[in-house]
Structure 1
Amino acid sequence: MKLETLTIHTGNDGEPATGAVIPPIILSTTFERAADGTFVEGRDIYARASNPNRRMLEEKLAALEGGTDAIAFSSGQAATMSVFHALGTNSHVILPDDIYYGTRYMIESLYEHWGMTCTAVDMTDIGQIKRAIRENTRLIWVETPSNPSLKITDIQAVVKLAKAKNILVGCDNTWATPYFTRPFDFGVDIIMHSSTKYFGGHSDILSGCIIVNDNCPPELKARIRNFQTTGGVIPSPFDCWLLFRSLSTFAVRMPVHAHNAMKLAMFLEGYPQIEKVNYPGLKSNEYHKVARKQMSNGFGGMMSILVKGGQEAALKLTANLKLVKHATSLGGVETLIEHRKSAEGAHSVSPDNLLRISTGIENIDDLLADFRQALENL
């Protein structure tokens, strides 16, 4: 099935008892055994271990990325944590230097006492990755486009290096999504999503997932699944139901995000108040060639801009916007802008004049008009 079809039909068996086309929310935390006290085959036992809504969601998530299995979590951070936890003590991880700050902070704070360490490198430079490899390097974690500067990593080149060294490759595909990039096609072992973002699409669900295929070692997958069920870091049945529903419109939302982002990036690139636009779809972008090689259907809905005049000018621009909201997160139908330095705090490596933009699916003329008046009033 094509993406547009599988996002609607995969995992949806309706409700045979009533004939309902849309599966119901099953809120029960426990499920009845058979009359003789045995567990009923195919039936859930306890909600922390499994739930009908979560099983349907995981089936759909796996299909989206062309994986064999998906493991749903209560947040993107919980999903990422499950991978690091599964690596074990004294492991070394290579991360991008431009990465969601919470990923690096997780290793440096929560796993410091495990002896886990990380090295941040410019992931667009294979030489830097090669020099960062140690005897105990277990994982290379790719984030492309990167958060918030939208660097594009050559996934295939990273995988080639990693496989030669018997190192796992994980890819945070939250920003690109399988609509624009399919990491399994380039040989990665694990894909992570903060499904709060584009999969949810409406800024009202907190969830994450790990998706695996046959490349993922079975013992690693088992540890990740055990972290989910034994650790109890699970999404609620209601969140699973909402996310399952939201994915039905995923394939029609994403091209609008990309269309609007391209138009907005081209518009902003022409303004003298803007120092730089970070968007891989622009021909002037230093990562455009790599992006064209591994991204299809467009270049996503995310961008960042550097505003002339430093932090003060950047914050004034956000204050001048009327339609666009200054808020954390991304991937919703509404356009959001955020000053990342102030959001990330002491751990930030973002420039003080950088604003991250999550382009929504509003009418593009309305978005351009809002940015035009905000820029003209700087």
Structure 2
Amino acid sequence: MVSKKEPGFATKAIHAGFSHDKATGAVMPPIYMASTYAQLSPGHPISKYEYSRTANPTRDVLEANLATLENGRFGLCFASGCAALNTLLQALPSGSHVIISDDVYGGTLRLLSQIFTPMGLHYTQCDMTDINNIEQAINENTQLIWLETPSNPLLKIIDITAVAQLKQQKCPNAWLAVDNTFATPYLQTPLDLGADIVCHSTTKYIGGHSDVIGGALIVNNETLAQKLYFLQNATGSIPSPMDCYLLLRSIKTLHVRMNAHCHNAKTIAKALSSHPKVSRVIYPGLSTHPEHYLATKQMRDFGGMISITLTDGPKAVIPFLKKLKIFTLAESLGGVESLIEHPAVMTHAAIPAEHRKKIGIEDSLIRISVGIEAVDDLLEDLNQAL
């Protein structure tokens, strides 16, 4: 008897969640812009659909597709990555304690510190590359451990399996959530490594074209999924059908784009490592990265994000950024075009300056989202600007 082979990532990316439209044979999911649906009699809709805040056919396809790619059972999509995290935090009991990394994305920290802390939530930040720091941070109220790996913007690699084992020993009722935005399910599948929840800002690599905002949560536990579905419906932080369609379109080329992002980033990281105007290159694919070995075990490749500091310090940052011609100075990341930004002033400005300095987000730090242009052109642009 021949065993059934699991479809490859590319096959799942293109086909999971949808085969063809039963009514017309269309090979792409229709964009169901309807807000409401006819009912046969009160409380008896024609299908499962009653109101598009609760469920929408286009969103259903996207949620099923993302769940499949992350090797999860349940997917939920939201209006943004922050909306996904906001919904997850709303699922926590009052007085809960959350552990986050010391260099967590500024929007995540803002949500915790300015929105949920006044409502009774507590959080602790620590360097999660040392598992002992997480163990020390755990207390009797810990309900969520939130990881970014690779982290933003210092590209730290956190051992998901080790944290999952620690959580099971010290706080088994807590949830381990992994923000998988930088890696994508093509490079890393946290649920397979012991995580309870995977989060994405689908705005980034999953969208991949800088033309849509979105977020997602993927889980295996049905009880947790039902709690999140309730909150998704109750709070209404959902993506539009058009946004779902755009994300589905983009997912079909995710594997192709990620291969190109990774190739270009590795080439550029190696080149900048020997450039006299660059004092430090942070990239998990370099042997000089402190968690390089862990990255080789945990990830299938090293991603398209690089952070650097300049030899001449903060005073050189703005002149360098202004001289670039192909790289666009802009927030966000993961698009086919190369973007570059200054975290201290842009994406991580919400983090207090003293804390940024303490954890290594220097004023001279520059974050690069390497696109899929011709790598020789990107190198030439960086060299002339440096």
Higher alpha-carbon deviation: 305-314 or 280-289: 305-314
Is the CA contact 1:197–1:331 (under 8 Å) kept in the aligned structure 2? Answer: yes
Indicate which of 198, 204, 211 corresponds to 2:211.
204
Tell me whether 1:135 sits opposite 2:140 in the alignment. Answer: yes
**CA 1:346–1:211 in structure 2 vs 1: closer, same or farther (change >3 Å)?**
closer
1:100 is matched with which residue: 105, 114, 134?
105
The secondary structure found in structure 2 opposite 1:105 is: helix
Q: Which residue of 1 aligns with 2:128?
A: 123
| Cα distance in 2 for residues equivalent to 1:183 and 1:219 | 19
Name which of structure 1's ranges 259-268 and 81-90 shifts more when overlaid on structure 2: 81-90
The change in CA–CA distance for 1:128 and 1:110 in structure 2 (over 3 A counts) is: same
Mapped pair 1:28 → 2:34: yes
Mapping 1:20-169, distance limit 5 Å: 20-34=26-40, 36-40=41-45, 42-165=47-170, 166=172, 167-169=174-176
* Distance across 2 between alignment mates of 1:321 and 1:15: 46
Q: Which letter does structure 2 place at the counterpart of 1:337?
A: I
- Give 1:247's aligned residue: 251
Mapping for residues 1-378 of structure 1, pairs under 5 Å: 1-34=7-40, 36-40=41-45, 42-165=47-170, 166=172, 167-213=174-220, 216=221, 218-296=222-300, 298-343=301-346, 344-348=348-352, 349=356, 350-375=361-386
How far apart, in 1, do the equivalents of 2:290 and 2:42 lie?
A: 64
Contact 1:77/1:208 (8 A) holds in 2:
yes
Amino acid paired to 1:328: E
User: CA deviation digits over 1:196-235, x for unaligned, max 9?
Assistant: 001000000100000001xx3x443222211211100000
Alpha-carbon offset, residue 302 of structure 1: 0.7
User: Over aligned residues, Cα RMSD in angstroms?
Assistant: 1.2
The aligned amino acid for 1:117 is H
Amino acid paired to 2:233: T
The one-letter code sitting in structure 1 at the alignment partner of 2:320 is L
Q: CA deviation at 1:58?
A: 0.4
Q: Which amino acid aligns with 2:73?
A: T
TM-score scaled to structure 1, two decimals?
0.95
Give unmatched runs, 5+ long, in structure 1: none
Counterpart Cα distance in 2 of 1:90 and 1:68? 29
Separation in 1 of the partners of 2:302 and 2:260?
Answer: 11
Structure 1 distance, partners of 2:31, 2:233, is 20
SS at match of 1:319: helix
Q: How many residues align?
A: 370
CA distance in 1, matches of 2:234, 2:201: 21
How high is the sequence identity, in percent, across the aligned residues?
Answer: 46
What one-letter code is carried by the residue in structure 2 that aligns with 1:51? N
Deviations 1:247-278 (A, max 9, x none): 11111111100000000100111111111001
Distance, in Å, in 1 between the alignment partners of 2:97 and 2:224 is 16
Residue type matched to 2:236 in 1?
G
- C-alpha distance in 2 between matches for 1:347 and 1:364: 33
SS at match of 1:345: coil
Distance 1:39 1:303 in 2: 53
**Cα deviation, residue 114, structure 1:** 2.3
How far did 1:37 drift?
4.0
Q: TM-score, normalised by structure 2?
A: 0.93
User: Could you report, residue by residue, the CA deviation over 1:277-316 in whole angstroms, capped at 9, with x for unpaired residues?
Assistant: 01000011111011111111x2001110011222221121
Q: Give the counterpart letter for 1:175 in structure 2.
A: F
Q: Contact 2:67 / 2:73 at 8 angstroms: preserved in 1? A: yes
Structure 2: tracts of 5 or more residues without a match: 1-6
Secondary structure, aligned partner of 2:224: helix
How much has 1:19 moved relative to structure 2?
2.2
- Structure 1 distance, partners of 2:122, 2:46, is 43
Q: Structure 1 residues 286-295 or 201-210, which shifts more? A: 286-295
